Amino acid sequence: MNILVTGGAGFIGSAVCRHLCGNTEHRVVNVDKLTYAGNLGSLRQIENHPNYCFVRADICDEHAISRILGEHDIDVVMHLAAESHVDRSIDGPAAFVETNIVGTFKLLSAALAHWQNLSAERQENFRFHHVSTDEVFGDLPFDGSLFTEDTAYAPSSPYSASKAASDHLVRAWHETYGLPVVVSNCSNNYGPFHFPEKLIPLIILNALEEKPLPVYGTGANVRDWLFVDDHARALELVATKGRPGESYNVGGRCERSNLSVVETICRMLDSLWPRRGGARYRDLIAFVADRPGHDRRYAIDASKIERDLGWTPAETFETGLAKTVRWYLDNPRWWEPIRSSRYAGQRLGAAEKALS
């Protein structure tokens, strides 16, 4: 099939492109605007692959997207393009409304027109796969409860509200126009090529540079962690095997508090990259004021995708994190230019600003 991946130069999008080119026969068309978080260096290993091409375009440009859908005869849209950093959404929500809501609307409009011009057989096999987040569900108490596909939406931040709105648009296009859509909501991803403003790469790189390791509040907030390559496999299954109109929760069954994540990274670095003088990396931990509307806990029930599509994560949190730490140690040529540019002139996240 011909698969259009939006946001394919981002963290999860690039993992999807690498997976599709490395493990399937599908043809991949990567569309990305190349904002501060888009990095073609994450795609270097497939840039010359015969089944891969990159097109620089903005999903808000409906005319450009329509042209790409037609020229490349697209069978599946995997929509990952999004503004995704909560701290940035608090400081500047307009970009999140524009990309996540308006951009999704423009993409849906282009996809609907493209789908309506396909043959009946191709219409039946076409999919619009919208990739979303568990943050749309709000937060959970510190108990055994889990997010399911039927959990009511209760977003807490401008980011999660914009993603919730885009989820609703996608479902509305299915119910109103018949567009064959599938939706997936994932837990926190981590792994190689993760942009350095997010928690795990930020902690690894701050530690290597002997800088404070910022932790919000007391570090008690809990997240379910999912290795990005496991997520990429799940997304392929949802896009190609998922039932139209259905949603699928994707999680790693790896709940950890933020403080536990940071301490685990510190222990790994103590072994792999010891500090001078024998000091421990955990001594660099610095607790900072909590961010507004910080959800207490996320936890995904992934039973549906495991049962219906046969997906299970291959990595535990410990094995996936070990691979991630090792990758950052081995690949400074990827992250050093990003760090030295201070995120291409963009503002720092709240946690880093608190330490500035």
- CA-CA distance, 237 to 240, in Å (whole number)? 5
Q: Are 179 and 115 in contact (CB under 8 A)?
A: yes
At 347, phi and psi to the nearest 5? Answer: -70, 150
Q: Are 61 and 33 in contact (CB under 8 A)?
A: no
Among this protein's residues, is 315 annotated catalytic? no
> One of 32, 83, 135, 167 is an active-site residue; which one?
135
Among this protein's residues, is 290 annotated catalytic? no
Q: Cα angle at 301 between 297 and 305, to 5 degrees?
A: 140
- Position 3, amino acid: I
Termini Cα distance of the chain: 49
In this structure, the strands spanning 222-227 and 255-257 are antiparallel
Is 52 strand, coil or helix? Answer: strand
- Taking CB atoms within 8 Å and a gap of at least 24, the contacts of 349-354 are 349/85, 349/87, 349/88, 349/197, 349/202, 350/87, 350/90, 350/91, 350/288, 350/291, 351/87, 351/202, 351/214, 351/215, 351/216, 351/288, 351/291, 352/197, 352/202, 352/214, 354/214, 354/288, 354/289
- CA-CA distance, 197 to 352, in Å (whole number)? 9
> One of 159, 248, 298, 343 is an active-site residue; which one?
159
How would you label 223-238 residue by residue, b for 16+ Cβ within 10 Å and e otherwise?
bbbbbbbbbbbbbbbb
- CA-CA distance, 203 to 267, in Å (whole number)? 12
> One of 134, 229, 295, 352 is an active-site residue; which one?
134
251 Cβ contact partners less than 8 Å away, ≥ 6 residues apart? 134, 147, 186, 187, 224, 226, 299, 300, 301, 302
Among this protein's residues, is 134 annotated catalytic? yes
Query: Active-site residue numbers?
Result: 134-135, 159
